[in-house]
Structure 1
Amino acid sequence: MFEHVVIGQYLPGRSYLHKMDARSKLASVFLLIIIVFMTNTWAGYGLLWAGAVLVYLLSGVSFRYIRKGMFPIFLLIIFTFILHALFTQEGDVLVSVGVFTLYEGGVEQGLFIAFRLLLLVFFTSLLTLTTSPIDLTDALEQIFTPLKRFGVPAHEIALMMSIAIRFIPTLLQETEKIIKAQSARGADFSKGTWKERSQAFVALLVPLFVRAFKRAEDLAFAMEARGYNGGEGRTKLRKLTWTLRDSAACAAVVIFGICLFFFRS
């Protein structure tokens, strides 16, 4: 069920995105997120989708892998679209059936929100798929380094964020194992009343939290056994190197955002 979830996973490769510096990829994704939220026209979203296709081609990731991995997100996006389409009463009436009325503004806003969610998940997924956890941690640490003068533990924050991202697929795998184990014991998560389904999910959440805390405890013991003491005095096996490729990518994203600014309504 969850074996194809892409968020938090890393696929080794030698594509253009794989060779980019992790800092430039973080900066580019941050800029792309701002651009996605600023876009509010069909022409702008058309350019965004064209840019997303270009980024996908530069990533070297299989489209079949992306499609299967984003299937759970599609369910959330469809649900979000339905909510906006049914409860936003703006524009002309398109369809009216009983107590439900679809307005032109509601459908348009629902599509905009759905596109935004899909693009956000797509860009962030490509970031983790083309960036190793070590490079991502080093990049986050260097970004937070200026905050050290204010007493902010840059290394610890970067490590915590990297571990959290990396543990997403692990927890999903644990969830799948628990679902299969509970189903073998007679639990049914798809039938029955809402009360019965809620009781069935309690049998899923409790062991999931127990395993999550157990994994966190094992990780803490392993780090202590290896003498981990934070970022103090630590050296890097591989140093991040900013190249012309990274400058060109960031400049391209900035120019892309400026072009989309003229398509705002």
Structure 2
Amino acid sequence: MFEHVIIGQYLPGHSFLHKMDARAKLIAVFMFVFTIFMMNTWTGYGVLWASAMIVYFMSGVPFRYIRKGMFPILLLVIFTFFLHALFTQEGEALFSIGVYTLYEGGVEQGLFIAFRLLLLVFITSLLTLTTSPIDLTDALEQLFTPLKRIGVPAHEIALMMSIAIRFIPTLLQETEKIVKAQSARGADFTRGSFKERSQAFTALLVPLFVRAFKRAEDLALAMEARGYNGGEGRTKLRKLTWRVRDSVLCTMMLMLAVVLMFFRD
């Protein structure tokens, strides 16, 4: 059920994107995400999709892998589209469905949000697929380092974020195991009334939370047993190296963001 969820997974490779500095990829993704939220025209979204496809070809990730990974969010995208299309009453009325009337502005707004969600998942998935958890943690820590001057625990924040990303596929695997175990005992998550399905999902959530807390406890004990006490005095086995291509990528993303601002209404 959840084998195609790709957010949080790392796919080893030797592509151009794999070899780039993790800090540059994080900065570029941040600027790309900022541009996505600022964009409100079809021309801008077309340029963003073209840019995302160029980044995809630089990643060397199989397209079939991406396509299957995007499938789990389609339900959310479709729901979001219809939510905006049915309840946003702007522009010219297109047609009516029972008590609901579809407006041109609602359909356009729904499509904007749908494309925005797809782009966000697509570009963040490419980040985690081409960046190892260790490099991602080191990059986050170094980017947060200036905040240490005001008392922000940069190392701990970076560690928590990387662990959260890494445990997404692990928790999904646990969920799949629990679903299969409950189904073998007669639970049905697809049929029945809303009340019956809610009760079935309750039987899923309780053991899932128990396993999640158990994994968190095991991880904390393992870190304590290895003498972990934060980032102070720790050395790095591998150091991130910023190269010319990393500067070029960040500069190109900044130029893209600036140029696309002229396409806003």
Partner of 1:260: 260
Q: Percent identity?
A: 80
Partner of 2:185: 185
CA positional deviation for 1:96: 1.0
Root-mean-square deviation (CA, aligned residues, Å) is 0.7
Partner of 1:239: 239
Hey, what's the Cα distance between the residues in 2 that align with 1:111 and 1:119?
A: 12
Give yes or no for the alignment of 1:197 onto 2:191.
Answer: no
1:2 is paired with a residue of what secondary structure? coil
Partner of 1:132: 132
Partner of 1:175: 175
Give the unaligned 5+ runs of structure 2. Answer: none
CA positional deviation for 1:232: 1.3
Partner of 1:162: 162
Partner of 1:106: 106
Hey, what's the Cα distance between the residues in 2 that align with 1:161 and 1:33?
A: 18
Partner of 2:216: 216
Hey, what's the Cα distance between the residues in 1 that align with 2:132 and 2:45?
A: 30
CA positional deviation for 1:95: 1.1
Partner of 1:147: 147
Give the unaligned 5+ runs of structure 1. Answer: none
Give yes or no for the alignment of 1:70 onto 2:70.
Answer: yes
Hey, what's the Cα distance between the residues in 2 that align with 1:31 and 1:146?
A: 19
2:175 is paired with a residue of what secondary structure? helix
Hey, what's the Cα distance between the residues in 1 that align with 2:183 and 2:14?
A: 41
Partner of 1:84: 84
Q: In the alignment, residue 143 of structure 1 is paired with which amino acid?
A: L
Query: Does the CA contact (< 8 Å) of 2:84 and 2:109 recur in 1?
Result: yes
Partner of 1:37: 37
2:95 is paired with a residue of what secondary structure? strand
Hey, what's the Cα distance between the residues in 1 that align with 2:44 and 2:231?
A: 43
CA positional deviation for 1:97: 2.4
Write out the 4+ residue segments of structure 1 that deviate beyond 6 Å after TM superposition.
Answer: none
For residues 49-74 of structure 1, what are the alpha-carbon distances to aligned partners after superposition, in whole Å with 9 as ceiling and x for unaligned? 11111011011101110111111111
TM-score (norm 2): 0.99
Q: In the alignment, residue 126 of structure 1 is paired with which amino acid?
A: L
Partner of 1:20: 20
Partner of 1:51: 51
TM-score (norm 1): 0.99
State the aligned residue count. 265
Q: In the alignment, residue 97 of structure 1 is paired with which amino acid?
A: I
